[in-house]
């Protein structure tokens, strides 16, 4: 029974979530053997009746219902394998452990039913049929998977586990022909428990099996080596519990159809599975008076009954639903038999128990005990799990998920490609728009720097423009408003997202507290109702018991008084009356003792009631604590909501302020446009004046050129008079002064016109940038 690999052990202790784990009851079948020759010779009659319609056994006034009943009027014993054991053999190939357990008194046919006894070379029973079915199944599916078989055969003799397949322990036959073992100084097999809770055997021989004949040879070897003896009830009585274990290891290739290529995918890996079938032939329960055993046989019988008693205690603990729900202790460690059957009873195994009984009335008491024993075993709940490799199972699950995703991707192939193309085009458009805006912003900022330099140069030349500072402030305010609006929108979105996350987390916590509060309150109501009902019921019971106790004590006192009165008389009737009264007195004393025990039980129940009240108080305290946490969380959520509301109001106020600044900027822009129009008109007028001044300057220059010619003509003629010279000199000086004034005036107008043109160009560029920001500014 030693584990061959760690995977089967791990799955038995902590099954993975991917493997199914369903509770199932232990199935119980009853096999009623026919009367044997000794019983017929003694004139025994059948005391067991079997219903031919339902699987029910009647033992006097005790009816018992089981899953199957064989023999007598029930189903024929030949159907036992097909109905009880064949499903377990099929389960081996799916990774489920299984156990077949034969129980009954000595001489009831357990060894014959299981097939562990070899007699005259014949092989009857369930184990040979299991071997045939197992190899037939392997032959039918061996092309799909690989198999490895191992068998082990052990016995529990006098609370020692011995290996029946150990070749180093020879056997011989005793004088009466009974096979007996030569006892050597060999240490018995040790029971070990692995870290994951699986019971293994250290030192047990596990023989690899390839054919049915090899397995039958191992069974025959162990059966001949098993300890047997003769008693008054059975000539070949098994003196030990025997467990024949078949371990089946499978390696199955996993193949699947690829959804993408519609072909068979052979790269899905391998699935490893390991399962065990325990075939248990228990030694029969026996009474020393009937078996007539003594010495060694008596000691063997004591150990057999002790192991069966421990097995009965385990079955009682597992079959009691109340104790199972309370998590009561199951005494698996009381014997080595129950320790080895720990998984078979209440663990990872599908179990069938076969109760073998004798129908003879001489064995009526032992038969009734066996039926009660088997009836309790029907209530045991096992949790069988498919023992598969955890890593292989996880890989198979991931491969299946991958195939599903591939199928989904193929189904959405065309739509997904179109969506991806549209998204890529949108991303490219957004990136190009972002680059263009960044480039324009860089140009506008460089123009603003140029405007600053122009203002500095104008101040150095002594020319000051009254609207330049206002234009610069307007440009800076527009730039800052744009950047502020972007930052404000980003911060607002982030704040709203964080607030939504906080509100969501606190809402989840509040829902969790509400659920806990409802659970505690419902538990509190149940505890309150249950405690009050129990209190009223058991107070009433206590009063009734006290009343009954007083009545019985009064009756006992009356009987004692009558006995004392009758003790004085010596006639025969008085003696008979005294005897009757003595019997009644003993019965009353017994009844008083029973009432005292009931009263003690009621006291224990009252203690349980006190514990329930304490639990109710504790629940009340927890409810108050949860309510306080709930109130604090609600207050916190209100404060958080109020803070968010105030923040949102401030953001809206800031947005209104930004809109107001935008309106001011728009008004400033309109004023700048009006100024631009006025400056254009002034520039046009100044241009016309400059043209007129230039024309007059040309006329004056021509007049200046003609003046020296006139003077030279006068000088070549007769000499002029003094008065004429003064007039001509004054005229010449006036012309020179007028020419110089006109030249200076034209030069001033020219310089002023150049400055106006420069300012006009800068103003137009600033006006264009302002219009762009006003158009693209987010609200």
Give the up-direction half-sphere exposure of residue 447: CA atoms within 13 A in the CB hemisphere.
Answer: 21
Q: How many residues in total does the chain contain?
A: 779
∠ CA 261-262-265, nearest 5°, is 80
CA 692 from chain center: how many Å? 99
DSSP label of 50: E
DSSP label of 314: H
Closest CA to 352 of 104, 101, 116: 101
Is 107 annotated to bind a ligand? Reply is: yes
At 33, phi and psi to the nearest 5? -80, 160
Q: Which residues pair with 163 in a beta bridge?
A: 154
DSSP label of 335: S
Pairwise CA distance, residues 257 & 265, whole Å: 6
Is 108 annotated to bind a ligand? Reply is: yes
Angle at which helices 364-377 and 296-319 pack, to 10 degrees?
A: 40
Contacts of residue 106, defined as CB under 8 A and 6 or more positions apart, other chains included, come to 231, 233, 234, 237, 283, 284, 285, 286, 291
Q: Which long-range contacts (CB under 8 A, 24 or more apart) does 116-120 make?
A: 116/219, 116/222, 116/223, 116/226, 116/242, 116/244, 116/279, 116/281, 117/223, 117/236, 118/219, 118/220, 118/223, 118/224
Is 745 annotated to bind a ligand? Reply is: no
Residue 246's alpha-carbon distances to 8, 92, 134, 156, 202, in angstroms, are 14, 10, 10, 18, 17
Residue 646's alpha-carbon distances to 104, 307, 432, 570, in angstroms, are 84, 79, 39, 111
Residue 503's alpha-carbon distances to 494, 512, 647, in angstroms, are 14, 14, 15
Four-residue CA torsion sign, 705, 709, 710, 711: positive
The strand pair at 179-181 and 241-253 is best described as: unpaired
Say if residues 114 and 126 touch (Cβ distance below 8 Å): yes
Is 408 annotated to bind a ligand? Reply is: no
Four-residue CA torsion sign, 20, 24, 26, 31: negative
∠ CA 192-195-200, nearest 5°, is 30
Q: What is the DSSP string of 11-35?
A: HHHS--TTS-B--EEPEEEEEEPPP
Which residues fall in the annotated binding site for ATP? 104-111
Which residues fall in the annotated binding site? 104-111
């Amino acid at each position: 029974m030693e584990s061959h690999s760690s995977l089967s052990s791990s799955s038995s202790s902590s099954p993975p979530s991917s493997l199914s784990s369903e509770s199932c009851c232990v199935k119980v079948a009853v096999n009623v053997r026919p009367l044997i020759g000794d019983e017929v010779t003694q004139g025994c009659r059948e005391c067991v009746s079997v219903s031919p319609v339902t699987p029910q056994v009647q033992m006097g006034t005790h009816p018992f219902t089981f899953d199957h009943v064989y023999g007598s009027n029930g189903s024929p014993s030949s159907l036992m394998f097909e109905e009880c054991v064949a499903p377990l053999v099929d389960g081996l190939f799916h990774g489920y452990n299984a156990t077949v357990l034969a129980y009954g008194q000595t001489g009831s046919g357990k060894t014959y039913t299981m097939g562990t006894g070899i007699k005259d070379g014949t092989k009857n029973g369930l184990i040979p049929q299991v071997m045939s079915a197992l190899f037939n199944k392997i032959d039918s599916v061996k092309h799909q998977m690989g198999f490895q078989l191992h068998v082990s055969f052990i016995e529990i003799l006098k609370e020692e586990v011995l290996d029946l397949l150990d070749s180093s322990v020879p056997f011989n036959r005793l004088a009466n022909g009974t096979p007996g073992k030569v006892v050597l100084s060999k240490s018995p097999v040790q029971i070990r428990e692995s870290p994951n809770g699986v019971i293994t055997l250290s030192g047990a021989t596990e023989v690899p099996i390839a054919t049915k004949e090899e397995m039958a040879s191992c069974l025959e070897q162990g059966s001949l080596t098993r300890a047997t003896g003769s008693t008054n009830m059975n000539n070949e009585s098994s003196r030990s519990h025997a467990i024949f274990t078949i371990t089946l290891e499978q390696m199955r290739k996993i193949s699947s159809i690829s959804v993408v290529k519609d072909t068979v995918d052979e790269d899905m890996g391998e699935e490893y599975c390991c399962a065990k079938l325990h075939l248990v032939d228990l030694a029969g329960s026996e009474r020393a008076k009937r078996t007539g055993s003594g010495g060694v046989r008596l000691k063997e019988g004591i150990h057999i009954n002790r192991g069966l008693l421990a097995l009965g205690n385990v079955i009682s603990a597992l079959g009691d639903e109340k104790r199972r729900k309370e998590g009561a202790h199951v005494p698996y460690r009381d014997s080595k038999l129950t320790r080895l059957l720990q998984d078979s009873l209440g663990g990872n195994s599908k179990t069938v128990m076969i109760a073998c009984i004798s129908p003879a009335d001489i064995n009526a008491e032992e038969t009734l005990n066996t039926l009660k024993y088997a009836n309790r075993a029907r209530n045991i709940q096992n949790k069988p799990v498919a023992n598969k490799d955890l890593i292989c199972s996880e890989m198979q699950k991931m491969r299946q998920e991958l195939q599903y995703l591939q199928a989904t991707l193929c189904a959405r192939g065309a739509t997904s490609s179109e969506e991806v193309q549209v998204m890529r085009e949108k991303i490219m458009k957004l990136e190009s728009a972002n680059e263009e805006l960044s480039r324009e912003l860089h140009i506008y900022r460089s123009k603003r720097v140029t405007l600053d330099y122009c203002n500095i140069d104008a101040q150095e030349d002594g020319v000051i423009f009254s609207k330049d500072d206002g234009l610069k402030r307007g440009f800076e305010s527009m730039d800052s408003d744009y950047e502020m609006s972007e930052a404000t929108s980003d911060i607002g979105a982030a704040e709203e997202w964080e607030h939504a996350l906080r509100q969501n987390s606190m809402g989840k916590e509040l829902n969790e507290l509400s659920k806990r509060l409802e659970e505690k309150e419902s538990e509190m109501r149940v505890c309150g109702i249950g405690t009050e009902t129990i209190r009223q019921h058991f107070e009433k019971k206590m009063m009734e018991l006290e009343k009954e106790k007083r009545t019985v004590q009064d009756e006992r006192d009356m009987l004692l008084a009558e006995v004392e009165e009758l003790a004085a008389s010596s006639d025969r009737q008085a003696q008979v009356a005294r005897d009757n009264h003595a019997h009644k007195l003993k019965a009353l004393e017994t009844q008083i003792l029973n009432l005292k025990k009931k009263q003690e039980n009621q006291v224990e129940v009252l203690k349980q009631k006190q514990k329930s009240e304490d639990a109710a108080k504790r629940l009340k305290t927890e409810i108050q604590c949860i309510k306080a946490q709930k109130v604090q969380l609600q207050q916190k959520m209100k404060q958080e909501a109020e803070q968010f509301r105030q923040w949102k109001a401030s953001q809206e106020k800031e947005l209104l302020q930004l809109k107001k600044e935008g309106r001011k900027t728009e008004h400033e822009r309109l004023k700048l446009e009006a100024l631009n129009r006025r400056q254009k008109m002034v520039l046009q007028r100044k241009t016309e004046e400059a043209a007129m001044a230039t024309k007059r300057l040309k006329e004056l220059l021509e007049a200046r050129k003609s003046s020296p010619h006139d003077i030279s003509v006068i000088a070549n003629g007769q000499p002029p008079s003094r008065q004429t010279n003064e007039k001509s000199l004054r005229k010449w000086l006036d012309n020179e002064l007028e020419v110089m004034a006109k030249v200076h005036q034209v030069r001033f107008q020219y310089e002023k016109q150049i400055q106006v043109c420069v300012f006009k160009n800068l103003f137009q560029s600033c006006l264009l940038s302002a219009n762009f920001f006003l158009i693209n500014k987010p609200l």
